[in-house]
Amino acid sequence: MKKSALQTARAAYQPKLPVALTGAVVAVEGQPTQSVADQEDIKKLFPNTYGLPELRFEKNPNPTVGKPVNVGVILSGGQAPGGHNVISGLFDGIKKINKESKLYGFLMGPGGLIDHNYVELTSDIIDEYRNTGGFDIIGSGRTKLEKEDQFDKGLEILKKLGITALVIIGGDDSNTNAAVLAEYYKKIGAGVQVIGCPKTIDGDLKNEVVEASFGFDTATKVYSELIGNIQRDCFSAKKYWHFIKLMGRSASHIALECALQTQPNVCIISEEVEAKNQTLQDVVNYIADIVAARAAQGNNFGTVLIPEGLIEFIPAMKVLIAELNDLLAHHPEFATKTREEQRQFVLDNLSKESAEVYASLPEGVARQLTLDRDPHGNVQVSLIETEKLLSEMVGNRLNELADQGKYNGKFSPLHHFFGYEGRCAAPSNFDADYCYALGYNAANLIAAGVTGYLSSLRNLTKPSVQWLAGGIPITMMFNMERRHGQMKPVIQKALVRLDGTPFQKFASKRDKWALSTEYVFPGPIQYFGPAEVCDQPTMTLQYEALDK
């Protein structure tokens, strides 16, 4: 493939490893660990990998030559910037241990392991992908690795290739499955270690011991670049309201980080909407009041950030959707009714509260909720264009305010959705370093002979040379949650904490940002300039460090 000038220049970048990893290491054991909740249940489910100690790597004063190791690597789930660097770090790490070591990549996600599709990753291949975005080196996929017959099928190819360690690069679900796989392989004496690496642009895989998942830094910087550019346009033209939806369905970290970076007029945080038990109309009124207040100052323009998952966090919408799923499942004749009959049928058969919510929705959206269903017959909430839904309802609300003499402005909304633009961006210096170190460090966990561990780097607000490297037993992040009707051990998902400093900082400033236009324009990610431009971690990470 033809390389861009930036790609060529960037290929030469050597990620900066933590000092502890620059030579041979020794693993220092900490105290045995506990899961974050439901300790007894989880201990029972993971008899071989529960309660292991945290590990920290320190320089080894008496290094010995390591044995060669064959390692497999899998990219699991949605793309995140830096995946290629995890793999190149892992490659360099196992070669450093012994240059006869080999790395195999399973193709298109966990399915590659099950179906025995793989490629040996040689230095020629690896060198093509250093510091690049994307997961295209081996592809990714969403096959869930969670059943024993899958594990057994995978073991066949691992045995055949002499692979004794598997590195799974994924989000909370993929690392949950990595822990289950580690436990299973340990139980049956398969002789295969399993190591996880924390990936997701959504930022919802983090906790007391994992400071950040990789990709969040780069993706939020790309989105913030675009939001900043739009804000500059908005402030120059002074005639549009930009409704900007941001990827991330299960948590609002991306929207919050982008708000901290760009200071928009409005940013909705789903977790707050849920905690305050707000309705969709509450959210609409909140935005409309800001539009009206700005209009009163002569400012008929502004920006609104919306997390992709908002609708699913609104309690009344959740109830409505559950009722609709139930109602439509029991009335197959619904499809044969006319448009008008369908609407009336829904209104007549929902609870009073849900019927009110349904009636309050713009007709197109209300209809969409009864039409588009997933293969399980459920309403497809993700198809709702929340940014358009909100702007339409804000427009309606402004008409009401105008009738009451409380609004006299112009409201011209424009809509944007940013997601795919950031998932495969070339990694920022932070993500390039973090990912490379995660992969390199995973090699050390392999050499240390452990399984069921997550590659861990801490102290991330410091320069990368000062990061602390080690391993975290994945089970220590577990709790029991209901999934598809069954209690399952899973990594607890990190939502935006309303008592955390990132949200508190935002909450303390948003009223000012709403009215006085204090846009910040971060500009594009820079790779070659001064450190304060190129090497800053996210504001979320910096503020969270204050909470520790």
- The footprint of its own copies (CB under 8 A) covers 1-7, 9-10, 79, 108, 132-136, 139-140, 222, 225-226, 228-230, 232-238, 242, 261, 263, 414, 416, 420-426, 518-530, 532-533, 536
Residue closer to its own copies, measured from CB, 237 or 546: 237
Q: How far is the CB of 176 from its own copies (least distance, A)?
A: 22
Q: How far is the CB of 477 from its own copies (least distance, A)?
A: 27
Distance CA 37, CA 50 (A): 13
Q: How far is the CB of 422 from its own copies (least distance, A)?
A: 7
* Structure-block tokens of residue 458: 């801490």
Pick the catalytic residue: 92, 172, 202, 204?
202
Give the residue carrying structure tokens 């390692």.
Answer: 71
SS (H, E, C) 99-149: CCCEEEEECCCHHHHHHCCEEECCHHHHHHHCCCCCCCCCCCECCCCCCHH
Number of C-alpha atoms within 13 angstroms, CB side, residue 378?
8
Local structure of residue 364 (DSSP, 8 states): H
Residue closer to its own copies, measured from CB, 225 or 271: 225
Which residue from 15, 21, 16 is spatially nearest to 58, judged by alpha carbons?
21
Q: How far is the CB of 539 from its own copies (least distance, A)?
A: 12
Whether residue 507 contacts residue 271, with contact meaning beta carbons closer than 8 Å, is answered with: no
Q: Give yes or no: 136 in active site.
A: no
Residue closer to its own copies, measured from CB, 60 or 420: 420
Residue closer to its own copies, measured from CB, 478 or 513: 513
Q: How far is the CB of 519 from its own copies (least distance, A)?
A: 7
Q: How far is the CB of 346 from its own copies (least distance, A)?
A: 21
Distance CA 21, CA 240 (A): 51
- Burial label for 300, CB within 10 Å (0-12, 13-18, 19+), is middle
In whole angstroms, how far apart are CA 260 and each of 233, 401, 516, 542? Answer: 19, 30, 16, 11
Distance CA 349, CA 333 (A): 14
Distance CA 49, CA 47 (A): 6
Residue closer to its own copies, measured from CB, 319 or 515: 515
Name the residues annotated as catalytic: 202
